[in-house]
Structure formats: structure tokens, C-alpha cells
Structure 1
Amino acid sequence: MKITKVLTAYATQDGDGVNIRRIPGFDGKYLDPFLMIDELKSDDESDYIGGFPPHPHRGIETFTYILKGGFEHKDQMGNTEAIRAGDVQWMSTGSGVMHSEMPLADAEQGLHGFQIWLNMPSADKMREPQYQDTTEHPAPSFTNQQGISLKALAGTWQFESQQLASSLQNLAANGAIADVALPAGKELYLPALKQQKVMIYIHTGSLESAQGETFDSGKLLIVEPSSDICIRAEAAAGVLILAADPLNQPIAHMGPFVMTTEAEIRQAVSDYQNGYFGSLS
């Protein structure tokens, strides 16, 4: 496995004072077609209790995965769903979504989860929004004889003899995401994925590369296209593997809006101010 770049998540806040770790990619330089990886991990309620009150989006897809605790999602399309540990939620915002994500009142053991943004192809940015989650069709997983488990959060994954197909199959740019848990001292091998952008985000423990480099949690490893994946856990580790095909298109970004031109951003702001995005009841 050849690693071409290593990025480090930094501490910031979003929503109503929610403390997160973030890796941004709005410049399109390293993450394309991914735009942002946010990790929320805390046992202190004050870090996340404010949640994410109603706000708009246009031109992106949001992907939410919960490891511990949970959020209640609401949107103007009428979707209301509790997203709990193990659940995944995908929203292709297209021309416009208004939504909120607030911590569940009964989630008292802290919160650990992710929100990942993917860019949408320019031609799709004004299509109707779509919503899907895995609450009725849980993400499939397989654990091998070494105790390494792979959970297919989105897309279809081949892990040894098992093909794992998530119910979420329509992410932009052929996107696919998996969560892998490795016991201490164990090594994961996957043949090269078909997508040209492959990244590994370490959310728990630490990894060691074949070259002997150690990478701690909060690191994002960007893998050379067409390279296989070979990682070893020093201590018990958990990682997200993110794969997609770069869009190689201009990015115009302002807050919750990501379009292709500045004129489209101005139109998004105007549409929001004029009530185009609707409201939450």
C-alpha cells in the first residue's frame, strides 16, 4: 500500500457550539469528491448538547454514521428518524434541504459519530433531494477468523469470501464507505478498489503501515490510486475506508452551500432568504 498524503483532523465547532474534529477539502486538492470529514467524539454532554438546529443545504450529500449515542433527524421533506449506534443516514440535498440533527434525550453514554460531505456532479446539483437510512435495513458486516470485521456502510464491498452490499447504493461519484475494526496486532488486506480516490480515517487506536510508520487516531491516509490496502493495528483500532471517483470540477463554497460557480452560490442564498427551502414543522 502506498500512502500519498497524510492529513490531521483539527478541533473546531459547528452547529450550536458542538465540538468536533474536522478534515476539510473544499479546495478540491486532496479529498475530491469528498468535501469534509467531521468526527464528533465525547463523553461530555456539554460538547454536543446544542446539536445542529434547523439549517439549509444545497449541492452536497451528507452521510452520517453513529458509533455511540444518537441524533434525531428532521427535514422539510417530512422525514423524522432517530439515528442510533450502528445506523447510517444519507441525504442527497440536491436543489435544497432544510434539516436539523439534535442529540437524542435517551442517549446518556456519550456520542461518537461522523458526518461526511460529498460533492455532487454539477449536472445533479439542482435535482430533487433524496433521503435514506439503514434503520430498517442495517449495514451488513462480516468478521473473519482473525477477528477483523468490516461493516459495509455504503456501496458494495468484497471482504475475503463475503460480498457485503449496503442498502445505500446511490452515493455521488460511485461513493462507498466501510467501517473496519481490527484487534491489536492484526492486519487487514484488501485488493485495490475500483474507485480512484481511496482514504483511510483512523477513529480509534492506531495503525502501522507496511513501512513501519505509526498513525494515530484523527489521521487521514490518502492511498495511491489502484493501490491495495494493507494496514496493521498496533492497539485495537477502528477505521473508516472511504472510496469514490474524483469529480474534477470547480468548487464554489459558502457555509452549507456547495455549487460550481459563485453565481450559483448567490442564487442559493437568495432562494434560502426567499423561503425556497421550506421550513421544519
Structure 2
Amino acid sequence: MRVINQFSARPAMDGDGVNIRRVADFNNTRFDPFLMLDEIKSDDKQDFIGGFPPHPHRGIETFTYIKKGGFEHRDQLGNVKAIRAKDVQWMSTGSGVIHSEMPLADADEGLHGFQIWVNMPANQKMRPARYEDSSETANPESTNDKGALLRALAGNWAFTGQSSISAPIQDLAGEAAIADLMLSPEAMAELQLDRHEFVGLYLYEGTLIGNNDAQSSDNTLPNDYSAGTYLILDSQDLLKLQAGPDGAGLLLFAGQPIKEKIVHMGPFVMNTQAEIEQTIKDYQEGRFGEIPL
């Protein structure tokens, strides 16, 4: 693999005092069509018990993936769903949603999960909202003979030379695809992702050992990577990954950049400042609706 750029997740707080690690780029949109990744990982309830009370979104898609524990999702469309380990949830917010995500009362073993924001093209930002999850359809998995397990979360994925697996959720903006790749100690995996213009990964645990051909664009980035690292990769180069002695877990991202200027304010991502101001007005005047009691 050839690394184009490297980022580190930064400590942050969101919702009602939830401690997270975040990687985001709203100014330069270098993750296009992706905008942001939040990771929640703690065995201490005080880090996440406040959850994410009702809040709005417009102009983006939110994609939630749970590794451990769970959330209860509620929205103004009437959806009420428990999202647990291995589940994903997708909200294409379009013209607007109000939703909440609160830790499940029976999730006593901590919480580990991710929320990913995907941008929407201008001509879709005001269409009706959509909701899907995988609570009733398991996300498919594939293994290779080198100690790797690939779980498709959105879109289609395959190890090099193997059959493709297709996640239940397929229609993310920017043809975005997301997968969870779990590597045993010193395991290896190869994927060919050259059909996508953007490819990135987020290492959430363990260590990745660089291959001999793993070079950054300016030859200054290291070849070994630790948890909390986000890499932008050359999509035309074969993705060759090897875990360190403690194994590795990483999220893979692929898609087609939307290549539109955006304006971001809190939970809203639009294309102009005037659209942001209209969004705030619509929300303040109650046009997003309310979550049913």
C-alpha cells in the first residue's frame, strides 16, 4: 500500500458528556465522500452513560457500527431500534431528522462503537430521510488462509482472488463502502480497491506492520502504525496489510469523492452559508418534527 496522508484521532466530547476519539476534516474534505469518524471505547459507564439525547441533522448520512455494548435509536420517523454488537445503522438524513442514541440499560460490559459521517451531494441534501439497520440481517463475513476476517458493513468487499460479499446496506452517498477487517497476530490480507477513487483506513486496535512497498507520498511517514491512526491510501495500489504480534482491527473506507464545497455548522452540512442559515431557521421553527413519546 502507498500512504498518501496520516491523521491521529483526537480526544473530544459530544452528546451529554460522552468521551470520544475523533478524526474529521470539514475544511479540506480530504476524506471525501467521508467527513468524520467518532470512536467510543470505554468500560467505564461514566464515559458514555449520558448518551446522545435528541438532536438534529441535515445534509449528511450517519453510519453507526457497534463492536461491544449497544444503543437504543429513536427518531421522528417513528423508528425505535436496539443496535447491538455487530449491528450497523444508517440514516440518510436528507432534509432533516431528529434522533437520539442512548446506551442500552443491559449493556454492562462497556461500549465500543463508531459513528461515521458521509457527505451527501447537493442534489440529494433536501430529499426525504431514510433509515436502515442490520439488526435482522447479519453482515456477511469472509476469511482468508492467512488469519484475516473481513466483515462487510456497507457495499461490496472481497479479499484478492476471492468471491465478493455484499452488506445488506448498499446505497450510501458517494458509493461509500465500509468494512471491518480483523487480523490475528501477524496475519496478512490483500484487497484490490482500484474501482474506488478514495480509500482509507482507521486502525482501532493493535498494530499494522508496513510492507516493503508501503511508502508515503513524501517518504516521511512511518511504516508501522498504532491504534488511533487514520490513513488515506492510494486507491490504485494493491492494499497489502500485515498485523503486528498483537493482531489488529481496522475499519476500511472506500468511495467516490463528491467534490463539492461544503459549509459545516454543528450537526448540519450544506453547500452554502445561506443554506445553513435556512436550516437553523427550519429547526428553530420546528420543521424537523419531534420524536414520538
TM over 0.5: yes
Give the RMSD, CA atoms, in angstroms.
Answer: 1.0
Matching of residue 85 in structure 1 with residue 85 in structure 2: yes
Correspondence 1:169-184 to 2 at 5 A: 169-184=170-185
8 Å CA contact 2:147–2:188 kept in 1: the answer is: no
Which deviations, in whole Å up to 9, do the C-alpha atoms of 1:239-258 show, x marking residues without a partner? 00001111110110100000
| TM-score normalized with structure 2 length | 0.94
Matching of residue 200 in structure 1 with residue 201 in structure 2: yes
- The residue number in structure 2 matching 1:60 is 60
- The residue number in structure 2 matching 1:229 is 239
Aligned mates of 1:205, 1:121 — CA distance in 2: 35
Aligned mates of 1:73, 1:255 — CA distance in 2: 20
- The residue number in structure 2 matching 1:145 is 145
Identity %: 52
Instruction: Give 2:172's aligned amino acid.
Output: L
1:161 Cα deviation after fit: 2.0
Aligned mates of 1:166, 1:192 — CA distance in 2: 16
Matching of residue 253 in structure 1 with residue 258 in structure 2: no
- The residue number in structure 2 matching 1:188 is 189
8 Å CA contact 2:20–2:40 kept in 1: the answer is: yes
Instruction: Give 1:275's aligned amino acid.
Output: G
Which deviations, in whole Å up to 9, do the C-alpha atoms of 1:21-57 show, x marking residues without a partner? 0001111342111110000000010000000000000
Instruction: Give 1:22's aligned amino acid.
Output: R
Instruction: Give 2:20's aligned amino acid.
Output: I
Aligned mates of 1:267, 1:37 — CA distance in 2: 26
Aligned mates of 1:31, 1:173 — CA distance in 2: 11
- The residue number in structure 2 matching 1:279 is 290
1:145 Cα deviation after fit: 2.3
8 Å CA contact 2:36–2:116 kept in 1: the answer is: yes
8 Å CA contact 2:193–2:199 kept in 1: the answer is: no
Matching of residue 266 in structure 1 with residue 267 in structure 2: no
Which deviations, in whole Å up to 9, do the C-alpha atoms of 1:119-166 show, x marking residues without a partner? 000000000000000011110001222221000000011224231001
Instruction: Give 1:58's aligned amino acid.
Output: R
Aligned mates of 2:92, 2:172 — CA distance in 1: 8
1:191 Cα deviation after fit: 1.5
Aligned mates of 2:204, 2:210 — CA distance in 1: 16
8 Å CA contact 1:154–1:168 kept in 2: the answer is: yes
Matched residue SS, 1:170: coil
Q: Which moved more, 1:226-235 or 1:253-262?
A: 226-235
1:226 Cα deviation after fit: 1.4
8 Å CA contact 1:149–1:181 kept in 2: the answer is: yes
- The residue number in structure 2 matching 1:19 is 19
Aligned mates of 1:202, 1:84 — CA distance in 2: 21
- The residue number in structure 1 matching 2:127 is 127
Unaligned runs of 5+ in 1: none
1:179 Cα deviation after fit: 0.2
| TM-score normalized with structure 1 length | 0.98
Aligned mates of 1:149, 1:165 — CA distance in 2: 14
Residue-pair matches, total: 281
Aligned mates of 1:247, 1:192 — CA distance in 2: 18
Matched residue SS, 2:274: helix
Unaligned runs of 5+ in 2: 215-222
Instruction: Give 2:274's aligned amino acid.
Output: A
Aligned mates of 2:262, 2:94 — CA distance in 1: 15
Matching of residue 242 in structure 1 with residue 243 in structure 2: no
Instruction: Give 1:178's aligned amino acid.
Output: A
Matching of residue 214 in structure 1 with residue 224 in structure 2: yes
Aligned mates of 2:234, 2:147 — CA distance in 1: 27
Q: Which moved more, 1:220-229 or 1:197-206?
A: 220-229
